[in-house]
Chain A
């Protein structure tokens, strides 16, 4: 039973380019959460999605960041026109249902480096 999968594991982008991070939830899970971890810090909540629906995006920066979880395929976190301050580890988590949001299983993360 595969866990939460994220790819790529490492991503290098130049300033101004776009970054696309993918997350496939655990089998049977329909709820996805994205978190960002800056160096030497804890994780910060960004967005919570159900398939085809954004439930809570209160942690998303107002510009350049967007997230989706289509009916088919992985959840995508998209960062446009990346800047050095976007360099971080981005973690995805999934849960089986909204009622069980306290059971969030995390993926291995994507480490984004902006040069």
Chain B
């Protein structure tokens, strides 16, 4: 079945870049997403990428997609304390209605 895997924790120094990695198994994935969840809050859609793209940039965020290896990454440039959160990688098929989430990567920032 469909599965999305990501590492559980990442710690970076303030001002450095953070790179969060994710792999997925569904070769028919059409949309791939990154969501951010702050403590006690809902999910905020950070960005999404279509499977026919290999890169998307939005201000400090860069998403890279390697469709052959089914690998997705999120790079956050100049990481700030406000970036501390859990980041979820997710994917969906062409209908997009059912989104499959990974277990989340907890990003912590050290001074």
A-side interface residues toward B, CB under 8 Å?
4, 31, 33, 35, 40-45, 48, 55-56, 58-59, 91, 93, 98, 101-109
**Inter-chain contacts of A43 with B (CB < 8 A):** 43, 88, 99, 101
- B100 near A: Cβ within 8 Å? yes
| Chain A residues near B90 (CB-CB < 8 A) | 42
Smallest Cβ-Cβ distance to A108: which chain B residue: B42
Indicate whether A101 sits within 8 Å of B95 (C-beta atoms), given known contacts A42-B102, A43-B88, A44-B101. yes
Residues of B within 8 Å of A104, CB to CB, are 45, 99
Residue pairs across A and B with Cβ atoms less than 8 A apart, 8 shown, are A35-B101, A42-B88, A43-B43, A102-B96, A103-B45, A105-B45, A106-B43, A107-B42
Q: Assess the A91–B99 pair: CB atoms within 8 A.
A: no
Q: Is the interface of B mostly helix, strand, loop or mixed?
A: strand
A101 and B48 CA atoms in complex are apart in Å by 12
Cβ contacts under 8 Å, B4 to chain A: 42
Question: Which residues of chain B in 26-53 are interfacial with respect to chain A, using CB atoms and an 8 Å cutoff?
Answer: 31, 33, 35, 41-45, 48
> Which residues, 88 to 111 on B, are CB-close (under 8 Å) to A?
88, 90, 92, 95-104
Partner of B97, one of A33, A91, A107, A108: A33
In the bound complex, CA of A4 to CA of B45 (Å)? 13
Closest B residue to A42 by CB, please name it.
Answer: B101
- B101 contacts A102, CB within 8 Å? no
User: Within 8 Å CB of B96, what residues of A?
Assistant: 101-102
CA–CA, A68 and B39, complex, Å: 29
A45 to B33, CA, bound (A): 15
Q: Is the CB of A42 within 8 A of B104?
A: yes
Query: Contacts of B100 on A, CB cut-off 8 Å?
Result: 45
Residues of B within 8 A of A4 (CB): 42
Q: B44 contacts which chain A residues (CB < 8 A)?
A: 106
Q: A42-B104, A102-B92 are in contact. Are A55 and B97 (CB under 8 A)?
A: yes
Our pick among B33, B43, B102 for the contact of A91 (Cβ within 8 Å) is: B43
Q: Are A106 and B42 in contact (CB under 8 A)?
A: yes
